[in-house]
Structure 1
Amino acid sequence: MKKFLLYLFIAVAIIGLIFNLDMVMNMILSSLIFILVLGAVLYGIYYFFIQTPSQRKYKRALRKSRRKHRKK
């Protein structure tokens, strides 16, 4: 009887741990998605409102040049 109660207690603990890990993983995933979206919004604000048009053209040309030389 004592072994049965011990195994039952361990099973309940494992089930509780699995359900808790599921909730924690969902919270971590939602936090990561929020951070990525926030970073994209901040980069968009920086790119379109802080940089001058000549800086944007320079960065675009730099990316194009890197792609061209990387393929060779």
Structure 2
Amino acid sequence: MKKILLYIFIAIAVVGLVFNLDMVLNMILSSLIFILVLGAVLYAVYYFFILTPSQRQYRRAVRKSKRKYKKRK
């Protein structure tokens, strides 16, 4: 009897998930987009307002150097 109730409960949960799948996926997708945009804005603030011009220049040189030596391998 307990197994039957468990299977019924699982079946109801699956049916509910299938019917609300579009809403759940939409919420997940919008959350991911919001997190990506927020991260990009925070990085831009950090890059343009917190780093000094010499630090930015150093970071560009490091990226360029990494790309140059990555191609050699």
Q: TM-score, normalised by structure 1?
A: 0.77
Structure 2 residue aligned with 1:17: 17
Q: Which has the larger radius of gyration?
A: 1
Q: Secondary structure at the match of 2:20?
A: helix
Residue type of the alignment partner of 1:54? S
Report the residue type matching 1:23 in the other structure.
Answer: M
Residue 58 of structure 2 aligns with which residue?
58
- Supply the distance in 2 between the matched residues of 1:30 and 1:37 (Cα, whole angstroms): 11
- The separation in 2 between residues aligned to 1:68 and 1:23, in whole angstroms, is 46
| 1:12-43 C-alpha deviation (Å, 9 max, x unpaired) | x83x5322011001100000000000000000
Q: Secondary structure at the match of 1:25?
A: helix
Alignment RMSD (CA, Å)? 1.5
Residue 26 of structure 1 is matched in structure 2 by 26
Say if 2:51 is the partner of 1:46.
no
Amino acid at match of 2:57: K
Where do 5+ consecutive residues of structure 2 fail to align? 1-10
Using the alignment, how far apart are the partners of 1:55 and 1:26 within structure 2? 40
Taking only the aligned residue pairs, the percentage that are identical comes to 75
- TM-score, normalised by the number of residues in structure 2: 0.76
